[in-house]
A and B are shown apart, each in its own frame.
Chain A
Amino acid sequence: MTGNTEKIKLKLAKRYAKEKRFRLYGISAIAVSIAFLLSLLINISVTGFPAFQQTYVNIDVDIDSKLLNLNSQYSEQDLFRANYSKVIKQSLKTMFPGVKGRKQKRALRQLVSKSAIYQLRDFVINNPSVLDTKQSLWFLARDDVDVFMKGGIDRSLPESDRRLKDFQLVWVDKLLAQDRLEKRFNIGFFTEGDSREPEQAGIKGAIVGSLLTMLVTMFMSFPIGVAAAIYLEEFAPKDNKWVDLIEININNLAAVPSIVFGLLGLAVFIGLFGVPRSVPLIGGLVLTLMTLPTIIITSRAALKAVPPSIREAALGLGASRVQTTFHHVVPAAMPGILTGTIIGMAQALGETAPLLMIGMVAFIANVPQGITDPSTVLPVQIYLWSDSPERAFTERTSAAIMVLLGFLIVMNFLAVIMRKKFEKKW
């Protein structure tokens, strides 16, 4: 007898150690997941943060009307068509005398962004009095200079591995010494559409596209989803084959890969009904079908949480079933329904794959004006930029991700607040 007790006692230490280890596995599993989440967020923030600043370069522009090809009687049209790129080239040449060779001359032009031409044009058109004067103007710097200013180019690397060659670094140093390079808050990132040039590219087009797409999605999926949920929860007969089929379908659609919804949109909406490609309307329709299951399932849960006594009281006072539902049950369930809708919208806002199928990946520089204008959305913009080789785009991709995550956090926060504030404990 004592032998067995001894054996058990001996084993006990081992069993306790096992217990401790098991517990450790559990906490480390959580720790690993959280660590991954943190490293993702930190990594994106660190990469994306510099994109909120943009380097500007100051140039003394000699706005010579001869260089602009303007005679004494010029019209508005002449001003618009004048050769501003020549003026900027000449001004850079005077600032950096002694630049020889085609390659170096080209590199010199590339200190400033291509947009400088248009900026100068608008400046001259708005103030024609500046003609034939010298003006000190700030222009967007080219992406390579911008990356260098933010510490993205290492001087100690061999010249062939650097985006800025030695002679370009000399110019940049000279500009720095004269305080002609400056980092400012990057307003253009929020007010411009997409562009092939990283320094000019902004997310306004994508944000407006996302908003329009979400509007379409919300106006379609909220009424349809809530109506479906009310029917299934309050009116649907039990033991009905059609109702069973609907329920199975909803549960299954919630788990269908999102890319398949894109195929549906391509074949049915575009192929059959002739809805134009790449527009918020078709994106919204596809996302509606995708978010419906989420909205229906959460709305049903909210309706189910309303206690039967509410219904019985209303019915007892002579209300019809429709009146009971719409006057008493639905208002009581509204906070839960809205929470579910916001979560569904957040899902739709981050969705990319189905939109690739329906042509929302085109390069679109204009900000869309309506739901039938070609446009892109924020997640697709992120995908497009992440494909671009320029270093400056990597930074902008991360910044766009930060904006997208910001929207999602706000939406989820709203959902949590609504749940906390309006949730009734029956």
Chain B
Amino acid sequence: MTLEVIITTLLALLFLGYFVGRKRSIALSKKTSQKLHSLPQYYGYLIAFWSSVPALLILLFWAALESSFITSAIVTQLPAQFQQLSADELGLFVNEIVNLSNSGLVVDDEIKRQAVIQYNKLIEFSNSIKSAVVLVLAFVGMFVALTFIKPEMKARNLVEKLIRGAMIACASIAVLTTIGIIFSVIFESIIFFKTVNVFDFLFGTHWSPQEAIREDQVGGSGSFGALPLFVGTLLISFIALVIAVPLGLMSAIYLSEYSSPKFRSFAKPVLEMLAGIPTVVYGFFAALTVAPFIRDLGESWGLSLSSESALAAGLVMGVMIIPFVSSLSDDVISAVPQSMRDGSYAMGATKSETIKQVIIPAALPGIVSGVLLAASRAIGETMIVVMAAGLSANLSFNPLEAVTTVTVQMVTLLTGDQEFDSAKTLAAFALGLGLFLTTLVLNIISLYIVRKYREQYE
């Protein structure tokens, strides 16, 4: 039975369970002339649950573990010389077997032919066992649950408990995601830091992750000094903030203090559009238009620039994060009570003096947290820098030079051929750990500030 057939059967059982449960509860209440505790459909829901959900969970569990079991079963059947192969070669071999089996082609090689036959057998075996287990479980669940139905059974309370449990599980996925992120980056990073010293990674100035395959290969030293990447990331983020903070803050001030409601209702959505444009579009624009423009401008002033400069990427990124600064600042500025403005006007201050000396200081915590959020966005931004910043790791603070960033290197390390145990791949996870921790700290500080000062004027 294929997966689709099993799932369709389970769905059919779900509906069947509902109607059978409903019917049975009504019949029972008539037979025993006892009033049902809950409405009949709640008995139906209960039967429907037991006749499909446990079976579905087993099915999912099976599907998640099936492939790795079958792979290891094939590998142990292989002749001895194959057992000696490295994990990558073995992985390739298994892949080939799977592909051959799917294509149904005739194989000449005897070992491969055996393996394909073996694989097909295993798949068939696994499929039949799986279908049997799942279907038996579904039917048993339905019948056992049916025998439990009694008119005095509190079906509604049970169903509501199930619903509540499902909702808690859904809400907990957020925690699971965080745990998943932390574990996936930490495990790989620990393996990485076994081969590369932590201090060499954090403070080393030479980044060249290509490992030499031959002894005489030039440029492939496999050194992992990530300092140039950190500096590059900070440089580009700094440029972005230099653009975004004044523009975003002044926009927010104008929109909340000066503008007419009509202009505001037009300009605010337009500004927010900047955050809705996909980053890949910004990246393309930066690489195609902004970078050549900056290069030509530099040349007309007698500067020689590379076509990839930190300035172009930072500038475009700065525009992208304007809405992050402006919408949060707008909110906190609007939240400053009118009485404070009135007090300042009564003292004879002009509007701009009021803004600069009363409103901004009062709204400062909110503004700072907006800026921190924007900074975390800039540090983690990927596509703009991948497309418009460089690949070579220069340790440089010069915005006119090409620099590379943490995210760019993560993409280049992971989008080639990858094997899980090479230092190259693991380095990407170490960089990911650094990125995650940095943005986590920024986010937590920013959330803390917002929480602490939110109620100040309420």
A-side residues, CB < 8 A to B, are: 15-16, 18-19, 22-23, 25-30, 32-34, 36-37, 40, 43-44, 47, 223-225, 227-228, 230-232, 235-236, 245-246, 248-253, 255-264, 266-268, 271, 273-274, 289, 292-293, 296, 320-322, 346-347, 349-353, 356-357, 359, 361, 379-380, 382-383, 386, 394, 397-398, 401, 404-405, 408, 412
Q: How far is the CB of B40 from chain A (nearest CB, A)?
A: 15
Q: Is there contact, CB below 8 Å, between A263 and B185?
A: yes
Contact residues, B224-270 vs A (CB, 8 A): 246-251, 253-255, 257-258, 267, 270
Q: State in angstroms the CA–CA spacing of A394 and B285 once bound together.
A: 11
Given known pairs A18-B352, A401-B281, the reply for A268 and B180 (CB within 8 Å) is yes
Contacts A/B (CB < 8 Å), 6 sampled: A23-B254, A33-B247, A253-B174, A259-B411, A260-B185, A292-B174
Q: State in angstroms the CA–CA spacing of A261 and B436 once bound together.
A: 10
User: Is the C-beta of B443 less than 8 angstroms from some C-beta in chain A?
Assistant: yes
Q: Is there contact, CB below 8 Å, between B250 and A268?
A: no
Q: Is there contact, CB below 8 Å, between A33 and B319?
A: yes
Provide the B165-188 mask, 1 if CB < 8 A to any CB of A, else 0: 011101111110110110011011
For the A-B complex with A259-B382, A263-B181 known, give 9 more contacts whose Cβ atoms are closer than 8 Å: A15-B353, A44-B281, A228-B167, A252-B447, A255-B377, A258-B382, A352-B279, A357-B414, A398-B284
Q: In the complex, what residue of chain A is closest to B247 when comparing beta carbons?
A: A29
Q: Is there contact, CB below 8 Å, between B278 and A352?
A: yes
Q: How far is the CB of A242 from chain B (nearest CB, A)?
A: 8
Q: Is there contact, CB below 8 Å, between A259 and B380?
A: yes
Q: Which residues of B contact A386 (CB under 8 A)?
A: 280, 283-284, 287-288, 387
Q: Is there contact, CB below 8 Å, between B276 and A408?
A: yes
User: Is the C-beta of B435 less than 8 angstroms from some C-beta in chain A?
Assistant: yes
Q: In the complex, what residue of chain A is closest to B278 when comparing beta carbons?
A: A350
Given known pairs A37-B273, A47-B288, the reply for A361 and B281 (CB within 8 Å) is no
Q: Is there contact, CB below 8 Å, between B251 and A19?
A: no
Q: Is there contact, CB below 8 Å, between B177 and A253?
A: yes
| B184 CB contact (under 8 Å) in A253, A268, A352 | A268
Q: Is there contact, CB below 8 Å, between B180 and A19?
A: no
Q: State in angstroms the CA–CA spacing of A143 and B389 once bound together.
A: 29
Q: Is there contact, CB below 8 Å, between A235 and B167?
A: yes
| Chain B interface, DSSP helix/strand/loop, else mixed | helix
Q: Is there contact, CB below 8 Å, between A30 and B271?
A: yes
Q: State in angstroms the CA–CA spacing of A381 and B271 once bound together.
A: 27
Contact residues, B144-167 vs A (CB, 8 A): 156, 159-160, 163-164, 166-167
Q: Which residues of A contact B174 (CB under 8 A)?
A: 228, 246, 249-250, 253, 292-293, 296
| A353 CB contact (under 8 Å) in B156, B177, B407 | B407
Q: State in angstroms the CA–CA spacing of A253 and B163 once bound together.
A: 25
Q: Is there contact, CB below 8 Å, between A292 and B173?
A: yes
Q: Which residues of A contact B271 (CB under 8 A)?
A: 30, 33-34
Given known pairs A34-B270, A383-B283, the reply for A252 and B188 (CB within 8 Å) is no
Q: Which residues of A contact B170 (CB under 8 A)?
A: 223-225, 227-228, 231
Q: State in angstroms the CA–CA spacing of A16 and B351 once bound together.
A: 10
User: Is the C-beta of B6 less than 8 angstroms from some C-beta in chain A?
Assistant: no
Q: State in angstroms the CA–CA spacing of A230 and B258 once bound together.
A: 39
The residue in A44, A321, A353, A379 that gathers the most chain B C-beta atoms within 10 A of its C-beta is A353
Q: Is there contact, CB below 8 Å, between A246 and B277?
A: no
Q: State in angstroms the CA–CA spacing of A394 and B284 once bound together.
A: 9
Q: In the complex, what residue of chain B is closest to A234 when comparing beta carbons?
A: B167
Q: Which residues of B contact A398 (CB under 8 A)?
A: 284
Q: Which residues of B contact A230 (CB under 8 A)?
A: 167
| B380 CB contact (under 8 Å) in A23, A258, A397 | A258
Given known pairs A257-B439, A260-B432, A405-B281, the reply for A356 and B411 (CB within 8 Å) is yes
Q: In the complex, what residue of chain A is closest to B289 when comparing beta carbons?
A: A43
Q: Which residues of B contact A271 (CB under 8 A)?
A: 184, 420
Q: State in angstroms the CA–CA spacing of A411 and B249 once bound together.
A: 29
User: Is the C-beta of B456 less than 8 angstroms from some C-beta in chain A?
Assistant: no
Contact residues, B408-449 vs A (CB, 8 A): 410-411, 414-415, 420, 428-429, 432, 435-436, 439-440, 442-444, 446-447
Q: In the complex, what residue of chain B is closest to A40 when comparing beta carbons?
A: B285
Q: How far is the CB of B29 from chain A (nearest CB, A)?
A: 20
Q: How far is the CB of A253 from chain B (nearest CB, A)?
A: 6
Q: State in angstroms the CA–CA spacing of A224 and B167 once bound together.
A: 8
Q: Which residues of A contact B210 (CB under 8 A)?
A: none
Number of A-B contacts (CB under 8 A): 255
Q: Is there contact, CB below 8 Å, between B277 and A249?
A: no
Q: State in angstroms the CA–CA spacing of A39 and B79 once bound together.
A: 64
Q: Is there contact, CB below 8 Å, between B322 and A33?
A: yes
Which 3 interchain pairs have the tightest Cβ spacing?
A257-B380, A26-B254, A350-B278
User: Is the C-beta of B381 less than 8 angstroms from some C-beta in chain A?
Assistant: yes
Q: Is there contact, CB below 8 Å, between B439 and A255?
A: yes
Q: How far is the CB of A205 from chain B (nearest CB, A)?
A: 17
Q: How far is the CB of A226 from chain B (nearest CB, A)?
A: 8
Q: Is there contact, CB below 8 Å, between B432 and A259?
A: yes
Q: Which residues of B contact A405 (CB under 8 A)?
A: 277, 281
Q: Is there contact, CB below 8 Å, between B171 and A320?
A: no
| A32 CB contact (under 8 Å) in B159, B247, B285, B287 | B247
Q: In the complex, what residue of chain A is closest to B429 when comparing beta carbons?
A: A263
Q: Which residues of B contact A404 (CB under 8 A)?
A: 278, 281
Q: Which residues of B contact A16 (CB under 8 A)?
A: 350
Q: Is there contact, CB below 8 Å, between B382 and A253?
A: no
Given known pairs A44-B281, A383-B283, the reply for A252 and B440 (CB within 8 Å) is yes
Q: In the complex, what residue of chain A is closest to B169 when comparing beta carbons?
A: A227
Q: Which residues of A contact B267 (CB under 8 A)?
A: 30, 34
Q: Is there contact, CB below 8 Å, between A22 and B415?
A: no
Q: Is there contact, CB below 8 Å, between B251 and A33?
A: yes
Given known pairs A40-B277, A259-B432, the reply for A289 and B287 (CB within 8 Å) is no
Q: State in angstroms the CA–CA spacing of A356 and B380 once bound together.
A: 15
Q: In the complex, what residue of chain B is closest to A38 when comparing beta carbons?
A: B270
Q: Which residues of B contact A260 (CB under 8 A)?
A: 181, 185, 380, 432, 435-436, 439
Q: Which residues of B contact A18 (CB under 8 A)?
A: 350, 352
Q: In the complex, what residue of chain A is closest to B185 when comparing beta carbons?
A: A263
Q: How far is the CB of A235 from chain B (nearest CB, A)?
A: 6
Given known pairs A256-B436, A264-B181, the reply for A352 and B383 (CB within 8 Å) is yes
Q: Which residues of A contact B285 (CB under 8 A)?
A: 40, 43-44
Q: Is there contact, CB below 8 Å, between B435 and A350?
A: no
Q: State in angstroms the CA–CA spacing of A223 and B166 once bound together.
A: 11
Given known pairs A25-B250, A251-B447, A259-B382, the reply for A231 and B168 (CB within 8 Å) is yes
| A252 CB contact (under 8 Å) in B68, B178, B278 | B178
Q: State in angstroms the CA–CA spacing of A404 and B281 once bound together.
A: 9
Q: How far is the CB of A412 from chain B (nearest CB, A)?
A: 7
User: Is the C-beta of B373 less than 8 angstroms from some C-beta in chain A?
Assistant: yes
Q: Which residues of A contact B335 (CB under 8 A)?
A: none
Q: State in angstroms the CA–CA spacing of A253 and B444 once bound together.
A: 11
Q: Which residues of B contact A258 (CB under 8 A)?
A: 380, 382
Contact residues, B275-333 vs A (CB, 8 A): 276-285, 287-289, 319, 322
Q: Is there contact, CB below 8 Å, between A322 and B68?
A: no
Q: Which residues of A contact B248 (CB under 8 A)?
A: 29
Q: Which residues of B contact A296 (CB under 8 A)?
A: 174
Q: Is there contact, CB below 8 Å, between B284 and A257?
A: no
Q: Which residues of A contact B159 (CB under 8 A)?
A: 322
Q: Which residues of A contact B100 (CB under 8 A)?
A: none
Q: Which residues of B contact A380 (CB under 8 A)?
A: 280
Q: State in angstroms the CA–CA spacing of A26 and B360 once bound together.
A: 14
Q: State in angstroms the CA–CA spacing of A227 and B187 once bound together.
A: 31
User: Is the C-beta of B379 less than 8 angstroms from some C-beta in chain A?
Assistant: yes
User: Is the C-beta of B67 less than 8 angstroms from some C-beta in chain A?
Assistant: yes
Q: Which residues of A contact B381 (CB under 8 A)?
A: 257
Q: In the complex, what residue of chain B is closest to A276 when comparing beta carbons?
A: B67
Q: Is there contact, CB below 8 Å, between A322 and B160?
A: yes
The residue in B166, B271, B276 that gathers the most chain A C-beta atoms within 10 A of its C-beta is B276
Q: State in angstroms the CA–CA spacing of A26 and B333 once bound together.
A: 14
Q: How far is the CB of A274 from chain B (nearest CB, A)?
A: 4
Q: Is there contact, CB below 8 Å, between A356 and B414?
A: yes
